[in-house]
Structure 1
Amino acid sequence: MPPSTNASEKTLLVLSAVLEHPRFTDVVEATGLAKATTHRILSTLVDRGFVSVGSNGTYVPGPTILSLAGRALQRIDISAIAQPIVDELVAQVQCTVHVGVANGDEIIYLIRADSDKPYRMPSRVGLAIPMHTSGIGKTVLSGYTDEGLARYAARTGVPPRTEHSIRDLEGLRAAAAAVRERGFAEDDEENEPGVRCVAAPVRDHTGTIKYGLSISTLTLEHTPEQVAAMAPYAIAAAEKISAALGHTP
């Protein structure tokens, strides 16, 4: 810890540490502060309700910080958070980039950002598409349990949108497993003829995959191999958005 660390910085150090380490000795070790200093700050945090002391003497988040966290989460605007990251990605790959959110059994586009190409994708903000026919939807489905996938199949019937679409539960399971293994999903004319994309999962502060990011292009412009080669860019951008939403790997 730098010797110039002021009182406010010390308080933040202790607060951050106690949210991850319930025992006093671990908090001391994590902050690098003296025991007396750590104890004094913790006492203040307990008095102010930021931290509570459990029945076994360990520290847990207090009502004040839980209330603040709840209010902060209500004000999260993923579109505002993601837009600068999306704009940077568009400049990198020169393709259309989407960010979508799971809503029931569908994906709704929250962001569509286009490159300078003379064409536009057949999509728009607010458009709802089936989860199993889209790259973003497949990333969300990858977070489902096998039972969850079965319930999705039973509810929707897994109707195809093109001749390339997934049509059954086995297809869902295979697609979800591929995302878990590779870290990205592909949509090769499964939602729109002539359009293919690569997508990566976006996680919220709990680690749940509620959103996804995709890079879309025309089949006339990029081969499946070329689209798959853009996966690292999609994954990196999705991880930046996840971090901004509070996800810690």
Structure 2
Amino acid sequence: MSTEASTTSAGTLARGLDILEWVAEVERGSMSDLCAALGLSRSAGYRIVGQLRERGYLAEAGENHLRLGPVAIRVGLQALEGLDLFKVTPDHLRALVEDTEETAFVAVPEGIEMAYVMQEVGPQVVKVSSKLGSRAPLHASGLGKAYLSALPAAEAEEIVAGLDLVGYTPTTLTTVPAVLAAVERAREHGYAIDDSEREPGVRCLAAPIRDASRRPVAAISVAGPRDRILAAETSIIEAVVATARAISSSLGCPPPRPSR
């Protein structure tokens, strides 16, 4: 194959992948919108889309609209079968501990609580730890509020309204409005805080882990003595949020949608 032909093929492949990613993002889109969004001429758009439809990567979704086809769906499902929270998380968890020098945790939702499923202990002499399998309340843990923040607002409100908002310490949030306000702050900033709300003197910073559908499947946190966490809070937040995003990406979560 000549260099010119190879370059042309590579460009066509890139445009084809751009088209698939765009259709996956919008779920159902028209040809005119596709061409406008990707800067394609009408003729180039129809030519590449025609090839993708012939191969089963795209399919019709009503008049002049497109959706992912059965082949694209099958390829995606096969890729997802190889993705698993417990396979992709350990290396990220160890790196987070090396970066922050504090203990890191991963918890998954179990009913109205978060269950600790992974822990990497930090090197500090004074440290925080939790028994694997133990539970953390949604309203009184950074992990729980981080998980709630990644749910649709209405769903999070319904869950919080049904919780028994037990007060564990003087700083525990024990009213629905207070918990929802904390969840909304976590949604806005990308991380949640537990300021000695379940264990006196312990501060926790947490972020949600999402799957390929952007649904939260877990949360990750760093916790330690309150004063020590506060002293390094900015860098710990950055590390926790970056780690949560890296794990989410490994689970197939698309990049965050651009704000409108």
**Partner SS for 2:209:** strand
Whether 1:49 and 2:56 are equivalent positions in the alignment is yes
Tell me whether 49-58 or 10-19 shows the greater mean CA deviation.
10-19
Q: CA–CA distance in 2 between the matches of 1:143 and 1:32?
A: 35
Q: Residue 99 and residue 5 in structure 1: after superposition, are their counterparts in 2 closer, same or farther (change >3 A)?
A: farther
AA aligned to 2:206 is A
- State the match for 1:20 in structure 2: 22
Q: Is the 8 A contact 2:143 2:220 kept in 1?
A: yes
SS state of the match for residue 228, structure 2?
coil
Identity of aligned residues (%): 25
Could you tell me which residue of structure 1 aligns to residue 215 of structure 2? 208
* Contact 1:165/1:191 (8 A) holds in 2: yes
Aligned match of 2:79: 72
Gaps of 5+ in 2: 24-28
* Residue of structure 2 equivalent to 1:105: 112
Query: 1:244 matched to which residue of 2?
Result: 250
Give the conservation status (yes or no) of the 8 Å contact 1:96–1:112.
Answer: yes
Q: Does the CA contact (< 8 Å) of 1:51 and 1:65 recur in 2?
A: yes
Matches within 5 A, 1:88-237: 88-144=95-151, 147-219=154-226, 222=228, 224=230, 226-227=232-233, 230-237=236-243
Q: Secondary structure at the match of 1:166?
A: coil
Contact 1:138 1:179 in 2 (8 A): yes
Aligned-residue offset at 1:84: 2.3
2:13 aligns with 11
The answer for unaligned runs of 5 or more in structure 1 is none
Question: How big is the shift at 1:28?
Answer: 9.0
Which letter does structure 1 place at the counterpart of 2:38? A
Pair 1:84 & 2:91 matched: yes
- Post-superposition shift, 1:170? 2.0
Does the residue aligned with 1:133 lie in a helix, a strand or coil?
Answer: coil
Partner amino acid for 2:181? Answer: A
TM-score (norm 2): 0.78
Alignment correspondent of 1:63: 70
SS at match of 2:22: coil
Instruction: Determine the C-alpha separation between the residues in 1 that align with 2:97 and 2:39.
Output: 40
Q: Which moved more, 1:43-52 or 1:126-135?
A: 43-52
Please report the TM-score for the alignment, with normalisation by the length of structure 1. 0.81
Paired with 1:156 and 1:17, the residues of 2 have a C-alpha distance of 44
Aligned-partner Cα distance in 2 for 1:223–1:94? 10
Deviation string 1:151-177 (CA, Å, 9 cap, x unpaired) is 324433212333332212122122112
Take 1:146 and 1:16, find their aligned partners in 2: how far apart are those partners? 31
Cα offset, 1:225, TM superposition = 5.2
Contact 1:162–1:192 (8 Å) recurs in 2: yes
Counterparts in 2 of 1:195 and 1:170: CA distance versus 1, 3 Å:
same
Distance 1:150 1:19, change over 3 A: closer
Once the two structures are TM-superposed, the CA of residue 142 in structure 1 deviates from its matched residue by 2.1
Alignment RMSD (CA, Å): 3.1
Q: Which residue does the alignment assign to 1:30? A: 38
